[in-house]
Amino acid sequence: MRNFDLLEPKTVTEACRMLDDGEDVRPVSGGTALLILVKQGLLRPRTLVNLKKLEGANAITRDEAGAVRIEAMATIHQVETSPVVREHLPVLAAACHQVANIRIRHLATIGGNLAHGDHQSDPPGVLVALDAEVELSGTRGTRAMKLADFLLGTYETALEPGEMVTAVTVPPVRGRLVSDYLKFTTGSSEERPCAGITALVRLEGDRPVEARLAVGAVAARPLLLCETDPTEGALPRMAERASEEIDPIPDLRGSAEYKRHLVRVLGRRALAAAWKEACP
């Protein structure tokens, strides 16, 4: 692999200072995305800042109000197997389980996944559906923003120089969430998603009060549609709307037209599955 220097901070403050040093300094955590770009010569960093050795940066916790906080260096495998995530955000566990393969999930981190800004991935769409926020730490302090606002496009995020993702949080859910994640690949099962569809139905008591449909991996950013007081009859129309509003990126996984079709069909299926479980 092309040479670079690896700096190894122990604290976030130290890491941010190291990162605030120009264009050819990049953070690296699991390395499963970034090192491929370096190997292929698409990225030629002079210096990488290794975030993997930051202390205590991979905890997954739930506070009294019910917000789930995942520290950025938690691996995808830690997210998928976390008892907190499995109990309270099963759709996130299910989507993380479908990322790449077991070896990558043991290396790749959730913070790295989001900061990388690759649209062809499972977690971003699901987390947008769950209304997640990212916590960003930098040389000028810490701020939080909606993940939906953080993801600007393919390999583009709201990160400023000298800033890193330190956590992702999912706010408390009012009532109960029933959810379904459908991943569709056009290659082998562990391929990147051609489409990743999240459907959520939120119940208060037995009454469905909100339906959400998030489309990941199809366009440069996840698309989120919400409907309050949904009825079963309105769900196909929601999938239809998603397929009209999405701006698919055509690639070797399918043409724009094909992906639009997928969004309509899979959106309908995912919503129907969530609805069936929510209102049996």
The footprint of another protein (CB under 8 A) covers 1-6, 8, 28, 30-32, 35-36, 38-39, 48, 50, 52-53, 77, 100-104, 106-107, 188-190
Gap between the Cα atoms of 171 and 183, Å rounded: 24
2 vs 237 by CB, closer to another protein: 2
Q: What are φ and ψ of residue 88, in 5° steps?
A: -100, -25
CA 212 distance to own-chain centroid: 16
Shortest Cβ distance from residue 100 to another protein (Å)? 7
Shortest Cβ distance from residue 137 to another protein (Å)? 21
Shortest Cβ distance from residue 271 to another protein (Å)? 25
CA distances to 83, 147, 148, 163, 210 from 243, rounded to whole Å, are 34, 22, 19, 35, 20
**What b/e readout covers 172-189, taking b as 16+ CB neighbours within 10 angstroms?**
ebeeebbbbbbbbbbeee
**Any alpha helices (H) in the chain, and if so which ranges?**
12-19, 34-39, 76-81, 83-88, 90-97, 102-107, 110-116, 123-129, 147-150, 235-245, 256-278
48 vs 262 by CB, closer to another protein: 48
28 vs 197 by CB, closer to another protein: 28
51 vs 213 by CB, closer to another protein: 51
38 vs 214 by CB, closer to another protein: 38
Shortest Cβ distance from residue 278 to another protein (Å)? 26
3 vs 228 by CB, closer to another protein: 3
Shortest Cβ distance from residue 221 to another protein (Å)? 25
Cβ neighbours, 10 Å, residue 206: 8
Shortest Cβ distance from residue 126 to another protein (Å)? 19
Q: If you write DSSP's letter for every residue of 31-53 in order, what string do you get?
A: -TTHHHHHHTTS---SEEEE-TT
User: Strand pairing of 195-204 and 176-184?
Assistant: antiparallel
12 vs 178 by CB, closer to another protein: 12
Q: How far apart are the first and last CA of the chain?
A: 55
Shortest Cβ distance from residue 107 to another protein (Å)? 5
